[in-house]
């Protein structure tokens, strides 16, 4: 049984209510929000009220690094409101220096307690990486996903976008690698994890059902670091 979130989730977060949340509280709030989304029971929110409430500052609970895919709107699939989450998006949900810097701001400066690396099924960027697509600047973008393609080295079957199982295996591996890369490449976030102030975890969103499956085995906390 989940523990109720220790705040009214329809009210914009403040410095006080953000501080009262632990990383596990935030993870549960994201899980509960996704369940409401797939059940068709989202909370009623006055978004313009939240705009006014957050005009003087922001205190989000989480940061989500996801793909640019139009079928995965972060605030909607987690049933969150204005000021609840930072949203970083790039085709293939990988990290580079700019995204790492953005997430360092989200956590060390603005106080987010959880980073979710959110992959998804039927990912066009992953399919492109599997097929070694070359197209303008997209070529270098997809190169960031190539390590996950090559990491799946014991796969039997066609290694292309035509094989859904291969695409899914690469997408899953890409999320796990991104979680590890994030903590390895950022001493700022690694220190926050060591202090128990931050959790990093991977997840996969199913574009056919809307369900987000958290990859508990990928979770990085002070205890697992």
Residues in the annotated binding site for Zn(2+): 67, 69, 120, 123
In angstroms, rounded to a whole number, what is the distance separating the alpha carbons of residues 200 and 23?
9
* Known binding residues: 67, 69, 120, 123
Q: Using an 8 Å Cβ cutoff, are 214 and 201 in contact? A: yes
In the chain, count H helices and then E strands: 10, 5
Enumerate the H helices of the chain as residue ranges.
15-19, 23-39, 47-54, 74-77, 97-104, 124-130, 138-143, 146-151, 164-185, 187-194
Q: Cα 114 to chain center, whole Å?
A: 9
The answer to whether 171 and 72 have CB atoms below 8 angstroms apart is no
Query: Would you give the end-to-end CA distance of the chain in angstroms?
Result: 27
């Amino acid at each position: 049984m989940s523990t109720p979130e220790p705040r009214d989730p329809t009210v914009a977060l403040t410095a006080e209510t953000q501080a009262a949340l632990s990383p596990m509280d935030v993870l549960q709030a994201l899980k509960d929000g996704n369940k409401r989304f797939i059940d068709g029971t989202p909370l009623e929110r006055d978004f313009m009220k939240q705009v006014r409430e957050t005009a003087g500052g922001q205190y989000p609970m989480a940061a989500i690094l996801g793909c640019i895919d139009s079928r995965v709107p972060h605030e909607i699939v987690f049933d969150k409101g204005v000021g609840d989450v930072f949203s970083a998006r790039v085709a293939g949900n990988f990290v580079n220096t700019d995204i790492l810097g953005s997430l360092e701001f989200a956590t060390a400066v603005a106080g987010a307690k959880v980073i979710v690396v959110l992959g998804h099924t039927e990912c066009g960027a992953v399919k492109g990486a599997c097929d070694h697509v070359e197209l303008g600047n997209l070529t270098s973008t997809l190169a960031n996903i190539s390590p996950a393609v090559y990491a799946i080295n014991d796969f039997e079957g066609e290694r292309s976008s035509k094989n859904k199982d291969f695409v899914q295996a690469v997408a899953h591996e890409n999320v796990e690698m991104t979680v590890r890369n994030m903590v390895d490449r950022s001493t700022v976030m690694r220190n926050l994890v060591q202090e128990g102030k931050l959790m990093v975890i991977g997840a996969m969103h199913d574009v056919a059902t809307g369900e987000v499956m958290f990859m508990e085995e990928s979770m990085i906390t002070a205890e697992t670091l």
